[in-house]
Structure 1
């Protein structure tokens, strides 16, 4: 057992440290608040697991000024001890990697015995809100003066002082420590123990273990690798340590398994890292200049890079000529399009390393062709994917850049050297989303890759929501050939909404023909060399006409602000056993909502028969924005000590009905009568709408009935309006063209307006107008 104060002193003296393989700090403010509340109330907060060893500088983090002797390396308890150190000392420990805002500015209310982070409007000049860090650093005496200087606090002075002493005494709290000792406990054994203990978090990978061993001999290895990652990030490409380590392993050993690095000395590793950085940077230049794939969103086939690195290493560091380079690009594009490395990555990499060593690029192409059943030809049906997570979205961008696609507004090719100050491009929906939804098409059809084109931001704004039968005719008249340059079918009959599916089929065929022609040129050496393409800026289009996109955007902003990680958007989820595509997630947290804590999280809003397989693979799957928001809110409440400390039951839904666990729910509108502004009348209207929505819109809002029964109609409406994002019910009714059946439409009716504040009414009107609903028509 060790007192908290003693543990913090040991961190200051360099006795308690982190092993290099530990992940960084990932807690959020609610978790810190919950920990402090539990300690203050005397609740159990768990023990610590430490590795007692004579650690060297390379195996621990933040060890620049650490002396010799036995060290205690934290294996379990990092997040708790780091949080407490930050709160008590007012700064992060030397081994810290993360966001210190999670524990900065904590206040304790001596009257209510609650913890909150500093809010100036609420806490300024209020002596009952005590700065927790100041209390630990300066002691009790300054607080005596603060409290006695305000007459209102004097009657409770003794009580308040007792509470402050109780809070400060958490430094005396004993933490049980279990220790791993013994000369036989090397890094690999300890990592295995760590993974067993850390069953609720993200496991350390073989790459983490390999890098930990390398750092023991070369302490600068991790920082050097991060420097390279930072350089590529500045250029617009995001990679991680594990990916870079695979490239280094390919160069150093020619093997895919990380265990192969055990026999690589620090000098050889450093040299292989230097070579890998050069190969990767050079190939990125080739991909950007030759294929136009100039930013992270369109970067294809990341795990083809180690194969390229291996080839270049065996080939003297460069391509022999342009023909060899283009044949590698042919292989690279096809490997990415068909998910060559989506399944058993190490097995496929091993095969390709052996192939490239034996027969070079020709062997790679032959092997890939055989793996594809003898077919490396793109069919129009291959472009049937939807969303920017589709494997064929980057190919559309590639074709746009390399084949001289022209802007509909200016008629100029979409190359930065020609566009000048108009170099910002946007993804353009050829058939506007609102138009397609109005005609009853689903999300996957609306967001089909074949409905995308790239235009300058200025042209995209000028076109707005006009139907293609209008602006196509103008484009053809002003800039002949511009439509064909973007593979637009020239039959005007296909430009009508009722022929939309025929339009998609025709454009898919045009795209497939263009792609096959370009790729054949790369393979055969007949694609003429050109000046390298200069990068262009692709900016996101405003998604104001797509409720689902707006929901996801608001959700991500909310979760990131709450301390969750940034997710990958429109991300493919593949079966690791077979490489089969399981779905395209609207948002995907591969390392959990907080890295190192929990399983991968998938938000998949479209009906998908593969969701059960995702859950079988260990993904936390949510098919509702509301369900994920509710889950995170309950998790944070529990972390903050606001909920009962029981095991959290994750309420998710992977079927067609997606309201389980939601804090928001669909609210629909029916005709109502009665006196203006009465709560009973509004209650009857809220309760009567279920049948209206089910009968007229085909939407079964059963969870809504539960909300009304639990909270009442008025409270339910106010709860929905207070949410930063529209509910799943609003989105579902919008997709059905029935915004008149939403709670927002009910709220703004004359007979109910008086029940709501001006701010709530503004929210309701804004949401409705944002999606072209006439709020005056219902008055």
Structure 2
């Protein structure tokens, strides 16, 4: 066994990818880079910055491989392939740019020497030139230069030629490469895991998947086949990532951790085979349960797929083929409460470990409910808990379930609000009182986008509303169409002046229906116990308001309220956005200044946690990204930023899901 250290040009490496002389072993993750990252890589290479080394494996024993996300002509390899272990994101990105891939349309501004992904604005500006056009071997530098001069470039022709020539020369920039020779597959996998875990570029799920690939040849093919089966049945979110997490959960009896790959490496083939059968059997029992009991014909409305894993364990490890109604109802009851309480919004794998253990107890439903601290109480949804909730809230999911339970269809057209396949149009929602009818001086964005103002209707139905007030378009709907969506019929609530009363009335109807849904599935042993609020965060509120943008020094203002809580603070949007991206892309912890105090932005397992005033705000990086994108869409001018006195919060922080913010 030895390691060769060599150099190779970018152009040569791209040609070898096209001719299948560079392949991806099964242990690799999927391509995940975003267009902005691709443009930054091109910029770094153009400026002569370091752009990293590559790690390959050369072997006579060809391993299972996975597809490389590139396009272009593929020729038969003229020599044995190299298997890429480290550098997939960079090499795939470069191949995409050089081969003019439709998802890597990087352009270059010749005057400010800036790279970015193609947009409508760059297409209108002839001073932007597509990098692939410059890299094309048949491209004429003279014609490109003349085109830019004709577009009004203020540069001299030789300066334009020099800058385009630097792009042309990118093909000749060289990567340092290390090639492992004579190493067995298991040792290569261990090297792969170590290389990719040092900087936390791979999460625990990626590392577990890499280890499973080495322990069980062909596992990716099995996972993909099972994923395709569920995609055909409307459950496309049962994908390779979900299945590998579920398999690891069954085999390890716990959630993932940084030590999971070492434990998986010690797992025998028989255990893996048995675990895989448990996963498949559990899903084939659970999904029909969701379809019959909740009318959940698709997976995309589920706020969290992880909530299914303990139930897969519970059902998959049962020896009998039938599940009694009491157990079935208890499973659904736990799923609904776990969703309301955002069970996995923080410390995901710690809680998953607790729930897998509970699912293996003699009385699994009771044990799972003990994990939610509701074994001695009957959960109830209150109107107060629904106040200020938006589509990011788990109550959005419950409002869909209760609407479907009442036979709600699309207004005017009557079609199902949740078609039975993920190939059908996505789930849509629109405002009962359109934004254009509500005075923004009386009703802020939180009130306008309140859950109680949202109904599940199509874009076609929303177009028919055409910005009209309910007082105008409700008379064209049958009462049944309104009742099915839990819309109050009181005509005084249809006028914008009655909007606040409309929200209150509809919250009451939604809360009543949600409690009816919970009561349908509540285990009998909870019938006589005291009532408790289903949501520990009921009555608490965290409002976000963005002033300005990321580029102009914009600030995001946090307003926290609730029993004994009144706090306002702000932070730099650019600083917070950067911290979230560092966590999301690389898993790197950061610090931001909130209310004048440095605050850690920490990744705990796969949850991003930030102390914001009285709250410990938690959620996945993707959930944080979604909430921040919402604020970017509704930002106010920086000139409207109110004066805020920096004030720290001294009390013990209360856990608060980022998805429950307004």
TM-score (norm 2): 0.62
Sort the Cα spacing of 1:699 and 1:319 in 2 relative to 1 into closer, same or farther, 3 A: same
Structure 2 partner of 1:726: none
Q: Equivalents in 2 of 1:294, 1:611: separation in Å?
A: 47
Structure 1 partner of 2:445: 443
> What displacement does 1:396 show?
1.0
The one of 424, 430, 433 equivalent to 1:431 is 433
Q: Equivalents in 2 of 1:294, 1:503: separation in Å?
A: 31
Matched, 1:333 2:368: no
Structure 1 partner of 2:345: 342
After superposition, where does 1:670-681 map in structure 2 within 5 Å? none
Structure 1 partner of 2:201: 203
CA offsets 1:585-626 (integer angstroms, 9 cap, x no match): xxx99998799845699xxxxxx99998784559699x9xxx
* Conserved 8 A contact 1:32-1:102: no
Structure 1 partner of 2:211: 213
CA offsets 1:136-176 (integer angstroms, 9 cap, x no match): xx7xxx969999xx9x99xx999999999987666654444
Structure 1 partner of 2:516: 517
Sort the Cα spacing of 1:6 and 1:516 in 2 relative to 1 into closer, same or farther, 3 A: closer
* Conserved 8 A contact 2:235-2:300: no
After superposition, where does 1:359-370 map in structure 2 within 5 Å? 359-364=362-367, 366-368=369-371, 370=373
* Conserved 8 A contact 1:254-1:310: no
Please report the RMSD computed on the Cα atoms of aligned residues, expressed in angstroms.
Answer: 5.8
Sort the Cα spacing of 1:211 and 1:68 in 2 relative to 1 into closer, same or farther, 3 A: farther
CA offsets 1:711-738 (integer angstroms, 9 cap, x no match): xxxxxxxxxxxxxxxxxxxxxxxxxxxx
* Conserved 8 A contact 1:18-1:60: yes
Sort the Cα spacing of 1:462 and 1:19 in 2 relative to 1 into closer, same or farther, 3 A: closer
> What displacement does 1:397 show?
1.1
Q: Equivalents in 2 of 1:359, 1:54: separation in Å?
A: 49
After superposition, where does 1:351-750 map in structure 2 within 5 Å? 351-364=354-367, 366-368=369-371, 370-371=373-374, 374-405=377-408, 427-438=429-440, 440-455=442-457, 460-469=462-471, 474=475, 479=478, 483-489=482-488, 491-523=490-522, 597-598=585-586, 615-617=601-603, 666=637
Q: Equivalents in 2 of 1:117, 1:301: separation in Å?
A: 32
SS at match of 1:44: coil
Structure 2 partner of 1:299: 302
Q: Equivalents in 1 of 2:503, 2:124: separation in Å?
A: 55
Q: Select the structure that is richer in helix.
A: 1
Q: Select the structure that is richer in strand.
A: 2
> What displacement does 1:520 show?
1.7
Structure 2 partner of 1:2: 7
Sort the Cα spacing of 1:316 and 1:176 in 2 relative to 1 into closer, same or farther, 3 A: same
Q: Equivalents in 2 of 1:416, 1:163: separation in Å?
A: 53
* Conserved 8 A contact 2:435-2:448: yes
Sort the Cα spacing of 1:610 and 1:192 in 2 relative to 1 into closer, same or farther, 3 A: farther
Sort the Cα spacing of 1:371 and 1:143 in 2 relative to 1 into closer, same or farther, 3 A: same
CA offsets 1:17-55 (integer angstroms, 9 cap, x no match): 5454444445566766665676566x2333414265758
Structure 1 partner of 2:237: 238
* Conserved 8 A contact 1:406-1:413: yes
Structure 2 partner of 1:758: none
CA offsets 1:385-404 (integer angstroms, 9 cap, x no match): 42211111111111111134
* Conserved 8 A contact 2:44-2:51: no
SS at match of 1:2: strand
Structure 2 partner of 1:48: 53
SS at match of 2:55: strand
Sort the Cα spacing of 1:506 and 1:3 in 2 relative to 1 into closer, same or farther, 3 A: closer
Q: Equivalents in 2 of 1:305, 1:169: separation in Å?
A: 52
* Conserved 8 A contact 2:27-2:214: no
Sort the Cα spacing of 1:502 and 1:210 in 2 relative to 1 into closer, same or farther, 3 A: same
After superposition, where does 1:766-777 map in structure 2 within 5 Å? none
> What displacement does 1:275 show?
4.8
> What displacement does 1:383 show?
1.9
Q: Equivalents in 2 of 1:208, 1:590: separation in Å?
A: 23
Sort the Cα spacing of 1:297 and 1:609 in 2 relative to 1 into closer, same or farther, 3 A: farther
> What displacement does 1:291 show?
1.0
Q: Equivalents in 2 of 1:34, 1:413: separation in Å?
A: 46
- Unaligned 5+ segments in structure 2 are 1-5, 69-73, 151-155, 420-424, 525-544, 551-575, 613-624, 644-662
Q: Equivalents in 2 of 1:220, 1:163: separation in Å?
A: 47
The one of 191, 194, 210 equivalent to 1:192 is 194
CA offsets 1:729-759 (integer angstroms, 9 cap, x no match): xxxxxxxxxxxxxxxxxxxxxxxxxxxxxxx
Q: Equivalents in 1 of 2:433, 2:117: separation in Å?
A: 48
> What displacement does 1:360 show?
3.5
Matched residue count:
542
CA offsets 1:615-672 (integer angstroms, 9 cap, x no match): 4559699x9xxxxxxxxxxxxxxxxxxxxxxxxxxxx9x99xx99xx9x9949xxxxx
SS at match of 1:437: coil
Q: Equivalents in 2 of 1:244, 1:455: separation in Å?
A: 32
Q: Which has the larger radius of gyration?
A: 1
SS at match of 1:359: coil
After superposition, where does 1:116-195 map in structure 2 within 5 Å? 131-135=133-137, 173-177=173-177, 187-195=189-197
CA offsets 1:408-428 (integer angstroms, 9 cap, x no match): 758x796899xxxxx998534
* Conserved 8 A contact 2:53-2:176: yes
Q: Which moved more, 1:171-180 or 1:510-519?
A: 171-180
> What displacement does 1:79 show?
3.8
Q: Equivalents in 1 of 2:426, 2:180: separation in Å?
A: 57
Q: Equivalents in 2 of 1:393, 1:318: separation in Å?
A: 34
> What displacement does 1:510 show?
2.8
The one of 245, 267, 276 equivalent to 2:279 is 276
* Conserved 8 A contact 1:399-1:515: yes
SS at match of 1:376: strand
SS at match of 2:254: coil
> What displacement does 1:245 show?
1.4
CA offsets 1:238-278 (integer angstroms, 9 cap, x no match): 34533221222344454334445334445653564455245
Q: Equivalents in 1 of 2:247, 2:467: separation in Å?
A: 49
* Conserved 8 A contact 2:334-2:365: no
> What displacement does 1:465 show?
3.9
Structure 2 partner of 1:101: 102
Sort the Cα spacing of 1:66 and 1:348 in 2 relative to 1 into closer, same or farther, 3 A: farther
Structure 2 partner of 1:682: none
The one of 281, 286, 290 equivalent to 1:287 is 290
